[in-house]
């Protein structure tokens, strides 16, 4: 639900900034936005549309404990592969 709310928040911000609902204008406006939502930071690369503001956390259970393996700057351990 948080991800859906964040998506609606991004859409609202784009419409308010662009003052239109035209796809091309909304896409252009999305490339200029940089703000935080409940889901995390929103910022996209204006050229590629790639999300650069939010990085998903990836965890892996290792020997009964949860280990953060991504992103590298926050990890508490390394990915174990293959895992059992």
Q: Taking each helix axis from N to C terminus, what angle separates 23-30 and 2-18, rounded to the nearest 10 degrees?
A: 110
Same domain, 7 and 39: yes
- Is residue 17 one of the residues assigned to a domain? yes
* Domain span at 67: 55-84
The total of structural domains in the chain comes to 2
The pTM of the full predicted model, rounded to 2 decimals, is 0.67
Residue 83 has a pLDDT of 66
Residue 40 has a pLDDT of 85
Same domain, 13 and 39: yes
Same domain, 59 and 81: yes
- Is residue 25 one of the residues assigned to a domain? yes
CA distances 1 to 6, 28, 68, 81, Å, are 9, 26, 23, 31
- Is residue 50 one of the residues assigned to a domain? no
Residue 35 has a pLDDT of 95
Identify which of 57, 69, 58, 62 has the alpha carbon closest to the alpha carbon of residue 84.
Answer: 62
Residue 11 has a pLDDT of 96
pLDDT in 10s for each residue of the chain, 84 residues: 888 998 999 999 999 999 999 999 999 999 999 999 888 899 999 999 999 998 788 999 999 999 999 989 999 999 998 866
- Is residue 49 one of the residues assigned to a domain? no
Dist CA 82 CA 84 (whole Å): 7
């Amino acid at each position: 639900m948080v991800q859906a709310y964040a998506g609606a928040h991004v859409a609202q911000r784009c419409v308010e900034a662009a003052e239109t609902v035209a796809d091309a204008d909304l896409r252009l406006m999305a490339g200029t936005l940089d703000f935080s939502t409940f889901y995390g930071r929103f910022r996209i690369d204006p050229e590629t549309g790639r999300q650069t503001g939010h990085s998903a956390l990836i965890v892996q259970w290792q020997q009964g404990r949860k280990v953060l393996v991504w992103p590298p700057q926050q990890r508490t351990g390394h990915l174990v592969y293959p895992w059992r």
